[in-house]
Structure 1
Amino acid sequence: MTYRLIALDVDGTLLNDHHELSEANKKSIQQAAKNGAEFVLCTGRGPVNTIPIMEGMGLGGYVITHNGAATVDIKSREVVDQFPIQAEELMPYIDYCRDHGIHFDVNTAFGLYVDRADEMTLEVRSMYEAVFLTPLDLPVWADLREPVVKFSAFGSLEAMDALEKEWRTWNSPFYMVRSGDFFLDLMHKDASKGAALQRLAEKRGYRPEEVLAMGNYYNDITMLTYAGKGIAMDNSPVEVKAAADEITLSNNDSGVHHALVKHVVNV
């Protein structure tokens, strides 16, 4: 099968645990693109720290960001597709986080906002610095220049497990998904990586069987099951592996490269 659109998760998939792109991954992606494949990064990140990865590989096209909530044209920086949420409906979640000392951020397509940015703990500040982000102070809703697309809570694995268990009991208007051990995200009920990938594929004229997707976490399951070929990384939880068609090597062993060599580059 010829795969014409290749969707890659970023953290835990394309990049290693130090947020680095291996030379093997880069070269195989560039070769596949040279052979005619179109790449799209599908990530929980925003476009601000996703587009530079594509540009560093010499690629254009699109990035699907915020777990599918905003798709952005790399060249023009235009938001070509998004799933806005009603910001006011986040208030019970914001109040809960404030009452329980849980860090959170509010995301527009290009903006990242937190409570009192200058008072962030070293742990929280280091988390943002690791992925090259600088949060701003959360303004009143009326002052946001873009629609809100994602809300994220951040904490220890135990804290996020407990938070997810609690919020699952709420009558929530949002799609809730774990994008990592330490993150719990809320988005529009129709938003997901799979939904955004499907909309982009249809826009680009690709059939599902022409789409190959790779990911490693729960927020990747929808795109792995949409794609004609869904590949999970070896560092994925068992539920993610079960949703995939096959498993490649881990993100620390250039699993993306090995999958591309098997299915795209040498075909």
Structure 2
Amino acid sequence: MNYKLIALDVDGTLLHDNHELSEENKDSIKAAVSLGAELVLCTGRGPVSTMPIMEKMGLSGYVITHNGAVTVDLKTQKVIDQFPMDAEGLQPYVDYCREHGIHFDVNTAFGLYIDKADQMTPKMRSMYDEVFLEPMNLPHWSELKEPVVKFSAFGDLETMNELEKEWNTWNSPFYMVRSGDFFLDLMHKDASKGEALRRLAASKGIARENVLAMGNYYNDITMLTFAGKGIAMDNSPVDVKAAADEVTLSNNEDGVHHALEKFVVGVK
């Protein structure tokens, strides 16, 4: 199969657990691109912490960010597609997090807002620094100059499991998805990695059978099932593996490299 669009999740897929990009993955991606494929990173991260990875690989094109809520053209650094949320509809979730001491952040395409940004703990500061983000103080909804596209709650595994169970009982107008063991995200009801990838492929005239996608977590399932070839990493939960067509090696074993060699680069 001639894959024209390759969609890669970032954390737990493209990068090792230490957040490093291996030379093996980088070289295989460049080889795939040289054969005519276009790479798009499809991640729960925002554009600010995703674009440097593309630049590190010397690639242009697009990044699908915030779990599909925002697609950005790297050349212009402009939003070309997004799913704005009803920000005021998030107030009950904000209230719940504040009442229960659960950390949360509110994301616009390029902005990140939290409570008391000037009082972050060193641990919290380190978490945001790791992905090149500088949180700002969350203002009143009416003062935000850009649409809200994602709301994220953070906590230990037990806290997030309980939070997901609780919020699943609410009559929510939002799409809720786990983007990691310690993260629970809310977005517009139509936003997902799969839908954003479908819309990008359609805009470029690329059929779904010519799309290959790789991911490792629940927020990747929609793009794995949309793509003509959906590949789960070996470090994926069993439900994610079940949704995929193939399973490759883990992210720490350069599963991206091995899958690209098997299905793209090594195909004659």
Provide, for residues 197-234 of structure 1, a one-character-per-residue CA deviation record: whole Å limited to 9, x for no partner: 00000001100000000000000000000000000000
CA distance in structure 1 between the partners assigned to 2:147 and 2:213 by the alignment: 28
State the one-letter code of the partner of 1:224.
L
Output the CA distance in 1 between the equivalents of 2:119 and 2:163: 23
- 1:60 matches 2:60: yes
Amino acid at match of 1:12: G
**Paired letter, 1:192:** S
Number of residue pairs matched by the alignment: 267
Alignment-derived partner of residue 79 in structure 2: 79
How do residues 91-170 of structure 1 correspond to structure 2 at under 5 angstroms? Answer: 91-170=91-170
Matches within 5 A, 1:141-220: 141-220=141-220
Between the aligned partners of 1:95 and 1:237, the Cα distance in structure 2 is: 31
**Separation (CA, whole Å) in 1 of partners of 2:6 and 2:32:** 9
What is the CA–CA distance in structure 2 between the aligned matches of 1:145 and 1:2, rounded to whole Å?
Answer: 42
Q: Distance in 2 between matches of 1:251 and 1:139?
A: 38
Equivalent position amino acid for 2:92 in 1: P
Q: What amino acid maps onto 1:110 in structure 2?
A: F
Give the 3-state SS of the residue equivalent to 1:164 in structure 2. helix
- Distance apart, 1:125 and its partner CA: 2.1
The 2-side partners of 1:174 and 1:23 are apart by 39
Task: Output the CA distance in 2 between the equivalents of 1:18 and 1:35.
Answer: 30
**2:39 counterpart SS class:** strand
Matched residue type, 2:131: V
Deviation string, structure 1 residues 158-215 (Cα, Å, up to 9, x no partner): 1000000000000000000000000000000000000000000000110000000000
Deviations 1:107-164 (A, max 9, x none): 0000000000122233322221222212111112222121000000000011000000
Percent identity (aligned)? 76
TM-score, normalized by length of structure 2? Answer: 0.98
CA distance in 2, matches of 1:161, 1:187: 18
* Structure 1 unmatched runs, 5+: none
- Distance in 2 separating the partners of 1:82 and 1:245: 28
SS class of match (2:186): strand
Aligned-CA RMSD value: 0.7
Superimposed CA distance per residue, residues 65-101 of structure 1 (whole angstroms, 9 cap, x where no aligned partner): 0000000000101100000001000000000000000
Q: Which whole-Å deviations, capped at 9, do the CAs of 1:42-63 have from their partners, x for residues lacking one?
A: 0000000101101111111100
Q: Distance in 2 between matches of 1:181 and 1:130?
A: 18
Contact 1:84/1:149 (CA < 8 Å) preserved in 2? yes
Q: Take 1:134 and 1:20, find their aligned partners in 2: how far apart are those partners?
A: 21
* Amino acid paired to 1:55: E
8 Å contact kept, 1:43–1:66: yes
Cα distance in 2 for residues equivalent to 1:77 and 1:210: 26
1:6 touches 1:211 (CA, 8 Å); kept in 2?
yes
> Unaligned regions of 5+ residues in structure 2, if any?
none
Runs of 4+ with >3 A deviation: none
| Distance of 2:121 and 2:232 partners within structure 1 | 34
CA distance in 2, matches of 1:183, 1:99: 18
For 2:192 and 2:58, how far apart are their aligned partners in 1? 27
- Once residues 118 and 182 of structure 1 are traced to their aligned partners in structure 2, the CA distance between those partners, rounded to angstroms, is 23
